[in-house]
Each structure stands twice: as C-alpha cells, then as structure tokens.
Structure 1
C-alpha cells in the first residue's frame, strides 16, 4: 500500500509508452493521470492533507532539479507537450514526489520511530552538501562517494523502529537508505534501457 503512488507513476510511464494516444500528448496525459491518482488517494483517505503538502513540496523541488539537469544537458524530454516548462514536463516532479509519498505512507502505516538521530545540524549540513553536489558536479569534481561514506558515518548509530501488527522490529537507517537508493537506481536504469520517460 505504501508503494501505491510510485507503482501508479511507473505503471503510467510504461503503459503510456506502449499505447498510442491520438487526442492528447503523452506527457500531458501522464500529468492528468497522476493528478487524478493523487486526488483519488486523498479523497479515499489513503493520503492525508499533510502528506499531500509534503508531496507537493517534493514535486516542486524535483521539477526544479529536472529543469537544471535538462539545462545542463544531462538528459532531455524530446516528446511534445503543452504542460512543459523550460523543456521539462510538469509530471516529472511526481517522480520525486513518489519517494515522498512512500516515506509518508510507510512512516504512518508502520508507526515508525527513530533512535540515535545524529541531530538536525549534522543531518542538515550533510543533506545540504548532497544537494549542492547534485548541482556543482558539472563544474567541480563529483563528491558523491565521499558523501556516501559520510552518510554511513553520520547515521551509523541511527535505527528505525517499526511495527507490523503487534510485533516491533528495528533496522539500521543506513540499510533503509541503501534499499530505497537501490530501487531508485533500478527505476532509473530501467528507464534508460527502455526509454519510458
């Protein structure tokens, strides 16, 4: 259930790449479908208003990141569409928002807590450095592997506590980062192999 929105996104991308849509551009159709999915999830109670707000923030951040990457020539969206801004279809922010949707859903459904949090300063500085590297690696060396090592060091003692029915489990946060990162990498690899975006 927590993966419902990510599955809807990548299912829509895959299906729309295989179907002919004579009355609407593909990118525009994807946007309409994903907005409808979000409305249905909210109306049905699958997502709360606070979760929708988080998803909107991630969507905006993702859209800005996509605009930057397209401008830098990292990738492009070659198909036509009315809902494109600076060469980027508006639906693309939903790919980032799907991660936010998953995080919100899983946190609520598994009644999660954390222990050993390193503090807002350490986490904030490291998060800021990761985002900064996303932009600056076009001009200066890429520090992603150094930053990955720092993530492991900073969050080494952080554990997620989660509950499945009446049983409580725990997992290192670094393992959760690895799992989420692996699935994001997998979807990007599949996209590059099949060109569904």
Structure 2
C-alpha cells in the first residue's frame, strides 16, 4: 500500500494571516496620512473650545489662522503638492458658497462672534469642505488609485452639477436627492476604483466607496457639531446626534468631490502622456 505524503496546512494559515496583516497596516497607514488635514481640523476645534480666548481674538478667527498655518505647513513639508493645493482652494470656494446660502436660509448657524465672518459665515468653514478634497487627493496619490468604467465628463459633470444645484433649490423646489441617488447608482454602476497596497491591486465599486466616505463624514459632522464648529437649529438648546438622513447629503457631496478630483486627475494624466 503506497504511503501518501503528509499534508501540512498549518504554515499556510500564518503566512496568509501575516500577508493580510501587513496589507491592512499599510492600508491603515496611508488612510491615516490622507486624513492629516481633517484630523488637524478636529484638533483645532477641540483646542479652540478648551481655551479661553482674550477679547481681541475671537475663536472663529483663531481657527482660521491655525488652519491656514496647518495648510502652509503641509505644503512646505511636501505633504501636499501644488496641484493638490489648487484643488483644495477650489473646494474651499465651493463650500463657502454653499455655506453662505445655507446660513442665509437658516439651515444652520455660527452663533459666536468673529471678525472673519462673511454674512454670518466664518471663513474657516470652507476648510471643512476642503478637507474632503485634501483626503481625496492624498488617498488617490498614496494608493495610486485609478478607475475603470468611468462614465465620462458629460454624464458625470451634469450629474455632479445637478447634485450641487439641488443643495440650493430644495428650499423652494421639490427635493430630488433620492432621484439623484438613483441616477448615481445607474451612471456609476460599472465604475470600479482600483487601489494598490504595496504591489497588490484591489477593486471596489465606486458607489460603495461613496457610501463609506459619506458615513465617515457623518461621524465627523457629529464630532464637529459637538465641538461647536456650527449649530443646527435643533441643537441650540443642547447637542444631540445629527440625524441619519444627513448621510444622504454627505453621500451626494462626496460624489461631487470624486467627480472633480477624478476629472482633474484624468486631464493631468492626458497631459503627461
């Protein structure tokens, strides 16, 4: 009777576990580095709330100065490239325009005084939108991201414009966010994100990435309102959790961010090729 070779399964499991552990650590490291500017915003908000500011310097003004310093430091240290700074500035302006309108319509408010407030909106508020762009640019570069099945500028651009416009028009026209969400699922149904951890390439449906980032921004929003970055009308008496319905707003905002960043990366890639 022939003697069968002894099968050893034990070494395979530790080797596989080690591989995925290393991959997860590298992925977590790049995610953490990509979140430096958002983390700096949270740190600044927490620090500014804990400090008793002198009469000649308001909290909102100090936040703006600190965030400008952080942005300058990230640029000088090479953590952000000149192209990424340009994208961040674009998002700052887009976010500030939305803030001016939303505060005017009473969606939320910035009750504290400040010299750097424009029509009731502190100028630092644009950085909260810019931090989303900072994360997008950083993670794109660090994980060497690419996309397959991109629908093209006409479809993506028109959809992104309609989403941004709906943030303004839903105050006096029917809110069509759910119709827009359905269009997102349709337009981007074949789009996949390719990202690299060391030399291994992974894929993820773009709509799944939209949901994940939107959820984490909603978590960040709860932290920000708790730290007094802004106040919703139902939080004026006391802070409480922001409604889950806000996730849909952040989901749509993330789509605008991805469309702009992806299109800019695509244009730059064509110029370099």
**TM-score past 0.5 threshold:** yes
Structure 1: segments with no counterpart, 5+ residues: none
* C-alpha displacement of 1:193: 4.8
Corresponding residue number in structure 2 for 1:17 = 49
SS in 2 for 1:65: helix
Pairwise CA distance, 1:194 = 5.2
Query: Where in structure 2 are the equivalents of 1:148-159 lying within 5 Å?
Result: 148-159=181-192
Alpha-carbon deviation of 1:111? 0.5
TM-score w.r.t. the length of structure 1 is 0.96
User: Which residue, 84, 97, 100 being the options, matches 1:64?
Assistant: 97
Aligned residues: 197
User: Could you tell me which residue of structure 2 aligns to residue 8 of structure 1?
Assistant: 40
Asked whether 1:49 is paired with 2:82, we answer: yes
1:184 counterpart = 2:251? no
Aligned positions of 1:1-197 closer than 5 A: 1-22=33-54, 23-193=56-226, 195-197=228-230
Provide, for residues 112-148 of structure 1, a one-character-per-residue CA deviation record: whole Å limited to 9, x for no partner: 1100011111111111110111000000111111111
Structure 2: segments with no counterpart, 5+ residues: 1-32, 231-273
RMSD value, Cα: 1.2
Distance 1:47 1:121 in 2: 29
CA distance in structure 2 between the aligned counterparts of 1:13 and 1:151, rounded to whole angstroms: 33
